[in-house]
Structure 1
Amino acid sequence: MKTFFKTYARFIYPIVILLVSYSIYFPYYGTPQAMFWDENYHVPNAQKHIDGMMYMEPHPPLGKMLMAVGEVLFGDNEGINKQALLETDYLTGDAAPPTMTYKGYRWPSVVMMAFSVVFFYGIINCITQRMWLAAAFTSLVIFDNALVIHSRAAHLDGIQLFFVLGAVYFFVRAATQFIHYQRAVRLSDYVIIGIWIGLGIMVKVTAAILLLLFAMLYIVEQWPQIKIWDWRALLKRLVTTVPSAVIPVVLCILAVFYIHIGMGTKVVANKTYKASPEYLNQIRMGDTWSFKTFQLGLRDNWKYMSEYADGVPRLDVCKPDENGSYALGWPLSKKTISYRWDRNVEDGKVIVKYKYLIGNPIVWFSVVGGLILSIGLIISRYVYNNPVKDEKLFYWICAFTGLYLAYMVTILQIERVMYLYHYFIALIFGAINLSLIYTYIYRDEVIANNKHTIINTVLFAALVIAIFAFFSPFTYSFGLTEDQFEMRNWFDFWKLQVVR
């Protein structure tokens, strides 16, 4: 068995990780049989794709298109009149068909987020070359309560993270093969990364932060020329890498919008979304797949998205029901969001089933700790000129610390109200960075596969799992009494509110 495991470990680890991930993300994802949070927006918009209705929305359309595919393939709503979904952009629970289920709409987010953990594992394994360490730190993604509850719904973030992690994986794969095996970075590497980034942007534009990966990959492959300032070689390479990177991103954006516009073959209930008369005329003529319609539709969609973004209110912490929060508080899971609750009285006790967006505190706080250590390491190198014991690993730490900080600084420039789940991309960068700074600190022990280090790493993963289980009533809507709720109300800044 030992020989068998060593021989096939590179297959066994990802298979086991995938099975564990699906066992966490799939159970009860069909419940509640009611919409919560942004499902009220995304479910009716996904249905518009199914019925061929023209619509516009503040987010790019790919996420809703995939939800529509999930509903067509796996939905259980045959024979249900869904006309109400076409006549509104926000479907209230009272207006939804009472027997309607939401499994099909939720299916893409659940499946794609559950599978994305394999990319996360691959990223860490490529850099550290230690499967056991990569598997242990993958628990940060599988067993984070916030990621699980938000991705087990018809939300965009689980779908987006699939493309985000895919892009990062192929970036890391290309870079590590160049660093460790001297395999030249090919133009096809830029193309592949560009496709993943383009698809991620077409779910939510926050994935545009991944455009930094192109610059980072270029620096990796051209570092020898950068050190000697060989401008001619650098410019020559730019002439080929820039088109190879940018064109796939642009083509993905245009292709998704082309399909979105082409599928909008009718206008329902006079919902025109401020579309121009020329665009509406093309729809009435049944000419939605023509290049002219695409030009008109793309212009009107971008205009609608821009105007909608300008109209979103700013954060107002004085509002008693404000669910938004400042980005600076997100690393500590401030502030949580109550998605839904159901109150019942059983044997004289009040039992409440909550759906709360709250992160696993071990995961989120450890990520913060890792960032503090990484920033300290970077300062010690570049301010105090201290030596580093592993130059390659040090630069990987710089890369993911930089991605984290770049994302957060970008988010801080946005004036509209933002929510805790907008932190997910930074959380992923921070979780990868945590595994790298851990490897850096215990470098010799990790390289030697020291038994005590392996045990300690496994114990950390076990702690992550245990705390996930402790907070799982908020994730899976298990009933809690008031005392059980207060046991999980660890910090005032979480803003958890008990239902009495």
Structure 2
Amino acid sequence: MVQKEKNLQKSFWWLIFGTICVLTMTTRFYKIAEPDHVCWDETHFGKMGSWYINRTFFFDVHPPLGKMLIGLSGYLTGYDGTFAFDKPGDKYENTSYVGMRVFCTALGATLVPMSFLAVDEMTQSITAATFASLLILFDVGILTLTQYILLDPILLCFIMGSVLGAVKVSSPRIKEFTATWWFWLVFTGTMLACCISVKFVGLFVVLLVGLMTIADLWSILGDMSRPVVST
């Protein structure tokens, strides 16, 4: 009976998580090609992506990773880097811009399932995890922000990934120094590095994860029941 109940809970967890993923894909990629003109800061980051494709030297206040990824996504989806991106409102016409939007939207879409996983790990409550993910899923501001050629969806993806990784590493459900623990540790470090490489505000996420690490160390070193070897 206990094993059957566990299997039912696991099936229910996957059902809820799968439903949230489907809703995320449906809402994020709906009419991704509209509007068919330059919107807001697409004029900046689309232009910088073009410069990377054309190997044109330029200086920017932000680190390069975000624009490099935008340029790479455009290059891989047929964009040749010739569109001017002069000002908001310019029609794309025959320009292959959808690939860059799809790339940014895909990274932005990861916010919803990663928030579900992070809250589920912290609370071990599927209700709390569902509620948290739905708040992000139906946030029109985040939905809109992550549908355009911007740095924001890329940065938010790496920020949420850093938080998820840190939560997994410090989770009591994952034993230290196992393959799973090492995976999440490397994942966290990679996400943190990507945060800083997109925008310098990623340093605040490094600070957050650093404080979480200090709290974990305090708990471990302060646990006198542990043998010295394990600490």
Q: TM-score range with shorter-chain normalisation?
A: 0.7 to 0.9
2:101 aligns with 106
CA distance in 2 between partners of 1:56 and 1:17 (Å): 40
Spell out the pairing of 1:347-358 with structure 2 (5 A cutoff). Answer: none
Contact 2:36 2:92 in 1 (8 A): no
- The question of 1:162 aligning with 2:165 is answered no
> In percent, how many aligned pairs have the same letter?
20
CA distance in 2 between partners of 1:37 and 1:14 (Å): 33
Q: Which runs of 5+ in 1 are unaligned?
A: 238-500
Decide which structure has greater strand share.
Answer: 1
Spell out the pairing of 1:73-152 with structure 2 (5 A cutoff). Answer: 73-75=76-78, 82-83=81-82, 85=84, 91-92=86-87, 98-152=93-147
- The question of 1:29 aligning with 2:25 is answered no
CA distance in 2 between partners of 1:119 and 1:35 (Å): 29
Contact 1:185 1:221 in 2 (8 A): no
- The question of 1:49 aligning with 2:41 is answered no
- Which one-letter code corresponds to 1:32 in the other structure? P
Aligned length: 218
- Indicate the SS of the match to 2:202: helix
Contact 1:21 1:142 in 2 (8 A): yes
Spell out the pairing of 1:149-298 with structure 2 (5 A cutoff). Answer: 149-177=144-172, 183-184=175-176, 188=182, 190-212=185-207, 213-226=209-222
- Which one-letter code corresponds to 1:207 in the other structure? G
Contact 2:38 2:90 in 1 (8 A): no
Q: Deviations over 1:164-184 (max 9, x none)?
A: 11110111111122xx56x33
- Which one-letter code corresponds to 1:221 in the other structure? L
Higher relative contact order (CA 8 A, sep 6+): 2
- The question of 1:68 aligning with 2:68 is answered no
RMSD: 2.9
Once the 2 structures are TM-superposed, how far is the Cα of residue 226 of structure 1 from its aligned partner? 4.6
- Indicate the SS of the match to 1:32: coil
Tell which structure's C-alpha radius of gyration is larger. 1
- Which one-letter code corresponds to 2:176 in the other structure? A
Q: Which runs of 5+ in 2 are unaligned?
A: none
When residues 34 and 206 of structure 1 are mapped into structure 2, their CA distance, relative to the original with a 3 A threshold, is: same
CA distance in 2 between partners of 1:198 and 1:152 (Å): 24
Once the 2 structures are TM-superposed, how far is the Cα of residue 57 of structure 1 from its aligned partner? 1.6
CA distance in 2 between partners of 1:135 and 1:170 (Å): 19
Normalising by structure 2, we get a TM-score of 0.81
Normalising by structure 1, we get a TM-score of 0.40
Contact 2:36 2:91 in 1 (8 A): no
Contact 1:67 1:104 in 2 (8 A): no
Contact 2:118 2:163 in 1 (8 A): yes
- Which one-letter code corresponds to 1:184 in the other structure? E
